């Protein structure tokens, strides 16, 4: 088996495999792109074709081609090896069959269900009504095959009978897969009398389904009465393999076009996606619902930095877009909006006027401009009151823009459209931002003990890798320095130990909340050697930062005590300030 693993790795070019998930650019000996394992604006993810390895210098992820596929697609070792072997044309003698969490069985049963539904739609006489419905929606045979569409019989247990009686799967597997519901006495198909859209994960495996009821379908209750309350669409529930927040319908088909055109068009439904694809906008994907989640952004931002949205701009849609804008700005993405005219949704426009749909997508405007135009059309800029409403509606969007220069450009554009002074608009934007910044600062304060993260790691690294003599000298030098938070606690522990004899053992025996901090500091310190003078210099800079923070806090507390006339508190705080000043003078001589 080991020989076969090496053969698969030898025949798999890591650049080609990674390129399926990340847009890579050649830079010297390496290929560079945005890391698929953490959010970043500037690429720190590198792939080396000679060594056949990848490494992210932002989050530390790294390994070979098998490790990459396991991490990026959520596969186990055997699944990743099998997928690469199939691509490379290597026939595995001993296939690795591990299914500890039952995922492999769920994947298998979904693939069989997709085959069953597809057969009913394309080959069976019972699929005639569904075929006519799809033909009426512009879905030809080629599209049906490309997307592997299917049809679910209007029976209570058509799929259950096929999978349990014929294929011998346990009933509980169908329930866990979300394909059936019911109890110990009887199981029922989840999808009945519906056109079926298979939902694929990024690895190209069927993990769920979406079912659209046929308009003429005769749905009946268990008592045999017509049921007019059936939802138009039903979807697979959340399972161990299906997660709605990550689902992008059509991604496996559109992925290469997205990279090639360096943009992705995002629509809301399966039929929207397929009609847009058929019209020639082959870089289209569909989301479930109206929100582009952060998980979806992470997946798509590996392929392109330009997102074009063709989503409902109703109240719910606008709220979802606000969240999307903020997440997109943090990732350095460009978002545009299609101004849809001539139909109620992308499906209708793309089917009836395919050429116009392509032109609409090409004319997509930056999302901020879209909201300007929408607000002005809604309120009109003919009165002070209406201008106020427009500003109130648009400014929260502009406050999300991270780049201050770009923010000012949009402020100027809005001011020109409203006929007001640019500075007044900019001031309104900054008011919103300053409220957001204060909230962010409070949140940061909850999660970190210091504003000096790089110095914190440097000092811990120095103490972990220095001898007892330097640790003792540092302890004396910092005597009287407040040691707060996780960093302070860790430094205090090292001082108490009188130095670290073996860092690996010390880190391993630390409490969980300190071990990851110590491990990160130790890894960073194993690089370039620092001389003793530089170590002292870094320690002094770190201590001065703590002193500045403490002094600022004491000053605020003294002001409050003076306001309350509390002389005892003023005296105590003043004494602490004197000690801090004395320590700072001592550090200046170090």
| Domain boundaries 2-88, corresponding CATH code | 3.90.580.10
Q: How confident is the model at residue 99 (pLDDT cuts 50, 70, 90)?
A: low
Q: What is the pTM of this model?
A: 0.66
- Distance between first and last Cα of the chain: 61
* Helix pair 485-497, 512-525: axis angle to 10 deg: 80
Burial class (CB in 10 A: 0-12, 13-18, 19+), 270: buried
pLDDT in tens, 100-121: 667 889 999 999 999 999 999 9
Sheet containing 334-337: give its strands across: 284-286, 264-267, 306-309, 334-337, 365-366
Cα separation, 130 vs 151, whole angstroms: 7
Three-class secondary structure assignment of 376-408: HHHHCCCCHHHHHHHHHHHHHHHCCCCCHHHHH
Give the pLDDT of residue 524.
59
Q: How confident is the model at residue 451 (pLDDT cuts 50, 70, 90)?
A: very low
Model confidence at 576: pLDDT above 90:
no
pLDDT in tens, 266-317: 999 999 999 999 999 999 999 987 788 889 998 999 899 999 999 876 555 5
Q: How confident is the model at residue 440 (pLDDT cuts 50, 70, 90)?
A: very low
pLDDT in tens, 539-550: 888 888 888 888
Give the pLDDT of residue 357.
97
Homologous superfamily of domain range 103-242: DNA primase, catalytic core, N-terminal domain (3.90.980.10)
* Residue 390 CB coordination number (10 Å): 21
Cα separation, 22 vs 300, whole angstroms: 9
- Hey, which CATH number is domain 246-363, 3.30.465.10, 3.30.565.10, 3.40.1360.10, 3.50.50.60? 3.40.1360.10
Beta bridge partners of 151: 195
Model confidence at 439: pLDDT above 60:
no
The full set of domain ranges for the chain reads 2-88, 103-242, 246-363, 383-447, 453-588
Beta bridge partners of 33: 45
Tell me if the domain spanning 453-588 has CATH number 3.30.450.
Answer: no
Give the pLDDT of residue 578.
86
Give the pLDDT of residue 316.
53
């Amino acid at each position: 088996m080991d020989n076969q693993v090496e053969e698969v790795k030898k025949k798999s070019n890591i650049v080609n495999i990674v390129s399926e998930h990340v847009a890579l650019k050649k830079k010297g000996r390496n290929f560079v792109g945005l890391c698929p394992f953490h959010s970043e604006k500037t690429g720190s993810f590198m792939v080396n074709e000679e060594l056949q390895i990848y490494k992210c210098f932002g989050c530390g992820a790294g390994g070979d081609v098998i490790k990459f596929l396991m991490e990026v697609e959520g596969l186990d070792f055997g699944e990743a090896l099998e997928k690469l072997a199939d691509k490379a044309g290597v026939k595995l003698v001993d296939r690795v069959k591990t299914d500890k969490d039952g995922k492999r069985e769920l994947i298998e049963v979904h693939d069989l269900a997709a085959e069953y539904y597809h057969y009913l739609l394309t080959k069976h006489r019972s699929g005639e009504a569904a075929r006519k419905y799809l033909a009426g929606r512009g879905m030809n045979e080629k599209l049906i095959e490309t997307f592997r569409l299917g049809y679910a019989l209007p029976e209570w247990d058509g799929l259950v009978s096929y999978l349990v009686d014929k294929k011998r799967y346990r009933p509980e597997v169908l329930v866990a897969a979300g394909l059936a519901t019911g109890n110990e006495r009887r199981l029922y198909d989840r999808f009945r009398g519906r056109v079926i859209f298979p939902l694929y994960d990024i690895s190209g495996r069927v993990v769920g389904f979406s079912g659209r009821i046929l308009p003429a379908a005769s749905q009946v209750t268990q008592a045999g009465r017509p049921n007019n309350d059936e939802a138009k669409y039903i979807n697979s529930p959340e399972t161990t393999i299906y997660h709605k927040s990550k689902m992008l319908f059509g991604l496996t088909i559109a992925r290469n076009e997205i990279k090639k055109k360096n943009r992705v068009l995002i629509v809301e439904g399966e039929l929207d996606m397929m009609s847009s694809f058929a019209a020639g906008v082959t870089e289209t994907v569909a989301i479930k619902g109206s929100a582009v989640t952060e998980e979806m952004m992470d997946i798509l931002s590996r392929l392109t930095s330009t997102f074009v949205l063709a989503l409902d701009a109703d109240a719910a849609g606008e709220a979802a877009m606000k969240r999307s804008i903020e997440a997109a700005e943090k990732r350095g993405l460009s978002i545009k909006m299609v101004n849809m005219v001539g139909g109620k949704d992308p499906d209708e426009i793309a089917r009836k006027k395919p050429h116009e749909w392509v032109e609409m997508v090409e004319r997509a405007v930056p999302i901020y401009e879209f909201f300007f135009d929408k607000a002005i059309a809604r309120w009109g800029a003919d009165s002070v009151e209406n201008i106020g409403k427009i500003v109130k509606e648009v400014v929260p969007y502009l406050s999300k823009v991270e780049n201050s220069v770009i923010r000012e450009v949009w402020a100027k554009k809005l001011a020109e459209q409203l006929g007001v002074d640019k500075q007044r608009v900019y001031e309104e934007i900054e008011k919103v931002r300053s409220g957001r910044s204060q909230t962010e600062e409070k949140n940061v304060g909850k999660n970190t003990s210091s504003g000096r993260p790089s110095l914190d790691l440097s000092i811990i690294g120095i103490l972990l890798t220095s001898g007892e003599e330097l640790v003792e000298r540092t302890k004396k030098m910092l005597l009287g320095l407040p040691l707060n938070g996780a960093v302070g606690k860790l430094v205090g522990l090292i001082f108490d130990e009188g130095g670290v004899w073996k860092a690996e053992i010390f880190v391993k025996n630390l409490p969980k909340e300190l071990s990851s901090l110590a491990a990160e500091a130790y890894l960073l310190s194993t690089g370039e050697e620092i001389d003793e003078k530089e170590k002292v210099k870094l320690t002094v800079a770190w201590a001065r930062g703590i002193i500045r923070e403490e002094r600022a806090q004491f000053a605020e507390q003294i002001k409050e005590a003076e306001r309350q006339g509390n002389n005892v508190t003023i005296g105590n705080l003043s004494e602490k300030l004197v000690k801090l000043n004395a320590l700072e003078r001592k550090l200046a001589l170090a």
